[in-house]
Structure formats: structure tokens, C-alpha cells
Amino acid sequence: MPPNAPHSTLDTRHFVLHFRLPVKHFATITVIGRDKTGVVARITSFLFEQRANIEALEEQVTRGQFSMTIQSSWKTGHLDRAALAAGLQRLARDLEMEIKVRFTEPSHRQRMAVMVTREPHCFEKIIGALSSNHLKRADLALVLSNRRDLEPLVRKAKVPFRHVPWENRQKAEQAALRILDEHEIDFIVLARFMKILSPNFVWRYKNKILNIHPSLLPSFPGPQAYRQAYEQGVKIIGVSAHFVTMNLDEGPIIAQDCFMVRPGMSMKEIVAAGQKLEATTLLKAIKLYLDKRLDVYWGVVKEV
């Protein structure tokens, strides 16, 4: 091209294009009450009217008690939170059921509640991981306990502590659920919490309650797992982190670890070795949960 010929150039500095993925809004809806016909149809039809996409739905009837968990999403601009909440309240009255909605935006840090009794080792591991920034996607919003043994440790960590006596399980669970709602809890970690949660409690946090059990489940369920293993002379003892379900110590397993029993190892030494594994295995399960690498399919945890 001659030096003085007209020419056209494209300055790409002025043509930078920004592509944004569509933003979606998410909510978890729980429905609990006496079983009756038409509940699923009424609620899913209402969500359709609210322009929701139902991504997952799970329902169950146990001894006449109906429970359902729905994971829903909305495209940007399609979610009317006020209309959704008002409509679900109307349905709750009409159906005589408890219906709750929790908005679970994937970008926000997860608000974690830890439930404890008296053993500190798992709680201390969680506090250490938070202090060292090894749990980057969670904030410890609450520690709830049926005893006051660990209150000084919790206060030292500058975490809200709530004590709920557990003499009457129904009243205790109702109080605990109110406190969890007040603190807008996303998921719960049972760090050696030595009380059994009822189906009524568990269904409100479906696949959002993590527990650590001192055995290689399904072996030795129940509260005396180390003693059972010791008395039966097993050569390998382990621990299991799992989701809590309505059936004691039968929830989907997230992570496990074990150690060899040395000849002549005392019960005290076995418990000490097991407690170290409890803390590290529970922490591993929490990290997997926060990394959104877990999916429960037909009662089995799959890493995705």
C-alpha cells in the first residue's frame, strides 16, 4: 500500500467485550406436617407460577409425617421474594403445614453452626482451621450446646454461644431451631454433640448436618463404639464423617480414616488415637462440603 493511501485500522483497545454468565438466585424450601394428598402438586404449581425452576425435590412420609425439601432457582429478574414468601405462608395455612424458605446464594460465605457437648477436640480443630484461613468459605456464626462445659473456650474464640438444656428433646429442638433461624444458619456440624436429633429436626437441614462417629460405619453404631471395638478385639479402628439422617449413624458417608491397634493397646490409648482422627476427618468433610464437591445419590455420597 502506498505511504499516503487511505487506510483503515482496527484499534482493539476500544472493542473489549465483557461476557457475564446469567446470575441465578437459589432457595431451599422445606415442608413438614401431617401427610395429606395434593401437597406436592400445590407447592410445585405455585413455584411454577413464581417462575421458579425446580432443580431437586425429595419427599418422604414416616409414620404419617410428611417431609419435603425442594431446591429451586430463578433467573435474574424473575424472583419476587416478597410474593414468594407471602404465597408460601398462604399455602402453609391452607395445608396446615410448616413451610420455610431459605435463600442460598452460592456466592455468599456459608454460615456454620457447631453443636457440641463436652469433648473439645473437634471444636478446637475447627477453630484452628478458621484461624489459619483453612476454611475460607465459612463463617462460624454460632456454637450451640446442651451443656456449658465448652462455653469458656467458645467465648475465648469470640463466637456466639447458646446453651439449650436437653432434658425434653421436643422442647430443646424447638428452641434450637429458633436459635438457628435467628442466626440464619446454612449448615450444621455436630462436633461430638452427644444427643440424637429427631426426624423433625433433621428434615429441616436435609444433607446439611455433618457428624463424626468413632467407628468405621456401618460397624459399631451408637454411643459406645470404641468400647465395642476394644471388647471385640478388632485390629483396625476408624472414624466416619457422615450426613445425619433420620436413622442413627446410617447417613451417607463423606470421609473415613483408621489406625492399626497395637498389641496391648489400652482403651485409653485407643480413644486418644481415635479422637485425633475424629478431628481431622470431620475437618476434611467440612472442606469437601464447602468446596461443593459432594452429591448424595440414593443414600451414597459422590464426590463431583
Judge whether 249 counts as a catalytic residue. yes
User: Which residue in the list 35, 94, 181, 249 is annotated as catalytic?
Assistant: 249
Rounded distance between C-alpha atoms, residue 51 and residue 48, angstroms = 5
| C-alpha closest to that of 126 among 144, 118, 117, 138 | 138
- Count other Cβ atoms within 10 Å, centred on residue 15: 7
Judge whether 68 and 28 are in contact, CB under 8 Å: no
Active site residues: 249
